[in-house]
């Protein structure tokens, strides 16, 4: 006798891999395993197809333990810590973000997330000068000039071009690619250069200088130099004419600006250029965001604390100071005495010295899969992977919230449930906490 296999197709699934946040995937499930994924790019497809590979197991000090025991051990570490860190949160969903912030508030932790080491300088630049921006829908329907600067969406955001910015047909761009001019500006040729009409190769570390030059040219000043950033001045004059002549221009930037010398000042210069161009035409800018739901965590942290990253709760109210409360600095200086890393592989991604400090303190890792962080963590709590085995909400790179579906079951709890249970155990270890919160007792 053969047992009938359970087969089903889940439609309109949202992909969690990058900030393009495609919400048109079709996932084929057979007996609780994902067998096929339609409509996704290779990065999204592999996210779903490899969902069962390298799964983490619950353990304490390397020995197998129950989830309950792991949660208890995590709460013990966090309740005792004097200056803890909560970090990660890109590969999870909105409700887990909220719970992580609640926990940070409760234990007076530093809380930071993956933006800190990707587009945090962009967030600082937006705080400094503001941003003329729009949704990807506006780009799809209206943009006739698309510039990619210091970014390689062809490899990092594969469907951005076909869904929103290059080949897609929109209301006022009915011919798709033919209705758009696409320019790529970077220090090296990449697959993104191949989808552009023009590629301009600039010297490393010259972005700020080039933005300043373009802004001067937009404002009618000419410069007494033959080249800027290794490119003849005439090419920049021509680019300014193309930008001023567009009906609707958008400048997308990547980490080629944020991770290099100048950091947020590069993006400040870019945004000022976009602002100046609005004296002539509609001209907008947007960062190409994501890995994962990193935009979501910045959104949630901002609405809950007022700040998008690098927040410290040790005084009972949120304080923001990049360089002081940002994760690379906290770890580089060896300041935190315990850490909860959730939905990110901090040790696998950080500069060696920062990773070294994490290895020297009590460390809790919450992750669906084994990673460089789970390998050395004192407590490992496996989670149901958000967007695959747990539902929730993610933010697309243009700040539009989209629902994440649960496609398959997991034997483990979701990130939000794990955080909720840790919060309950931390509270239980502080019997005076309830009284303190209810009403202050008279002294003496």
Determine, following the binding rule CB under 8 A, whether residue 179 of this chain makes contact with other proteins. Answer: no
Positions in 197-226 near other proteins (CB under 8 A): 201, 204-205
Determine, following the binding rule CB under 8 A, whether residue 322 of this chain makes contact with other proteins. Answer: yes
Quote the CA–CA distance of 211 and 272 in Å, as a whole number: 9
Long-range contacts (CB closer than 8 Å, 24 or more residues apart) made by 173-178:
173/140, 173/141, 173/142, 173/143, 173/144
Candidates 99, 174, 168; CA nearest to 137 is 168
Determine, following the binding rule CB under 8 A, whether residue 328 of this chain makes contact with other proteins. Answer: yes
List all residues 6 or more positions away from 77 whose beta carbon is below 8 Å from its beta carbon: 338, 362, 364, 378, 379
List all residues 6 or more positions away from 3 whose beta carbon is below 8 Å from its beta carbon: none
Quote the CA–CA distance of 251 and 57 in Å, as a whole number: 44
- Min dist. Cβ of residue 323 to other proteins (A): 3
Positions in 27-66 near other proteins (CB under 8 A): 42-43, 46-47, 49-50, 53-54
- Min dist. Cβ of residue 141 to other proteins (A): 28
Determine, following the binding rule CB under 8 A, whether residue 124 of this chain makes contact with other proteins. Answer: yes
List all residues 6 or more positions away from 440 whose beta carbon is below 8 Å from its beta carbon: none
Determine, following the binding rule CB under 8 A, whether residue 116 of this chain makes contact with other proteins. Answer: yes
Positions in 336-365 near other proteins (CB under 8 A): 345, 348-355
Quote the CA–CA distance of 338 and 323 in Å, as a whole number: 19
Quote the CA–CA distance of 270 and 251 in Å, as a whole number: 9
Determine, following the binding rule CB under 8 A, whether residue 88 of this chain makes contact with other proteins. Answer: no
Quote the CA–CA distance of 153 and 302 in Å, as a whole number: 26
- Min dist. Cβ of residue 112 to other proteins (A): 8
Binder to other proteins among 104, 134, 143, 156 (CB under 8 A)? 156
Quote the CA–CA distance of 174 and 172 in Å, as a whole number: 6
Query: Which span sits near other proteins by CB under 8 A: 100-108, 126-134, 150-158, 431-439?
Result: 150-158
Determine, following the binding rule CB under 8 A, whether residue 187 of this chain makes contact with other proteins. Answer: yes
Determine, following the binding rule CB under 8 A, whether residue 17 of this chain makes contact with other proteins. Answer: yes
Interface with other proteins by CB under 8 A: which residues? 17, 42-43, 46-47, 49-50, 53-54, 112, 116-117, 120-121, 124, 152, 155-156, 158, 187-189, 191, 201, 204-205, 255-256, 258-261, 263-264, 309-310, 322-323, 326-329, 331-333, 345, 348-355, 369-372
């Amino acid at each position: 006798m053969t047992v009938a296999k359970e087969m089903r197709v889940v439609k309109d699934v949202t992909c969690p891999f990058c900030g393009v946040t495609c919400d048109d995937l079709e996932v084929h499930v057979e007996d609780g395993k994902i067998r096929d994924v339609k409509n996704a790019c290779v990065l999204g497809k592999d996210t779903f197809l490899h969902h069962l590979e390298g799964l983490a197991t619950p353990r304490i000090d390397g020995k197998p333990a129950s989830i309950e025991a792991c949660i208890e051990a995590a709460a013990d570490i966090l309740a005792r810590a004097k200056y803890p860190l909560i970090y990660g949160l890109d590969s999870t969903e909105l409700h887990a973000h909220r719970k992580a912030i609640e926990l940070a508030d409760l234990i007076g932790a530093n809380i930071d997330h993956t933006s800190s080491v990707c587009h945090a300088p962009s967030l600082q630049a937006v705080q400094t000068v503001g941003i003329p921006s729009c949704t990807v829908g506006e780009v799809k329907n209206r943009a006739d000039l698309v510039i990619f600067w210091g970014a390689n969406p062809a490899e990092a955001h594969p469907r951005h071009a076909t869904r929103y910015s290059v080949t897609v047909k929109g209301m006022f761009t009915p011919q798709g690619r033919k209705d758009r001019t696409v320019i790529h500006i970077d220090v090296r040729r990449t697959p993104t250069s191949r989808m552009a009409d023009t590629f301009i190769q600039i010297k490393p570390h010259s972005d700020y200088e080039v933005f300043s030059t373009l802004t001067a040219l937009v404002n009618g000043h000419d410069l007494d130099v033959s080249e800027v950033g290794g490119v003849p001045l005439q090419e920049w004059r021509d680019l300014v004419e193309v930008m001023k002549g567009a009906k609707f221009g958008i400048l997308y930037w990547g980490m080629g600006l944020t991770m290099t010398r100048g950091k947020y000042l590069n993006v400040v210069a870019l945004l000022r250029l976009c602002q100046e161009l609005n004296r002539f035409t509609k001209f907008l800018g947007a960062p190409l965001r994501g890995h994962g739901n990193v935009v979501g965590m910045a959104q949630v942290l901002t609405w809950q604390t007022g700040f998008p990253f690098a927040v410290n709760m040790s005084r009972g109210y949120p304080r923001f100071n990049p360089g002081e409360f940002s994760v690379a600095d906290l770890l580089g200086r060896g300041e935190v005495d315990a850490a909860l890393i959730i939905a990110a592989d901090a040790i696998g991604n950080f500069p060696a010295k920062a990773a070294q400090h994490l290895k020297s303190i009590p460390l809790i890792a919450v992750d669906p899969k084994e990673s460089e962080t789970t390998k050395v963590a004192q407590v490992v709590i496996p989670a149901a992977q958000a967007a695959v085995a747990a539902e929730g909400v993610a933010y697309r790179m243009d700040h539009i919230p989209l629902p994440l579906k649960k496609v398959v079951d997991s034997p483990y709890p979701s990130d939000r449930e794990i955080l909720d249970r840790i919060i309950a155990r931390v509270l239980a270890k502080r019997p005076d906490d309830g009284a303190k919160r209810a009403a202050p007792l008279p002294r003496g």
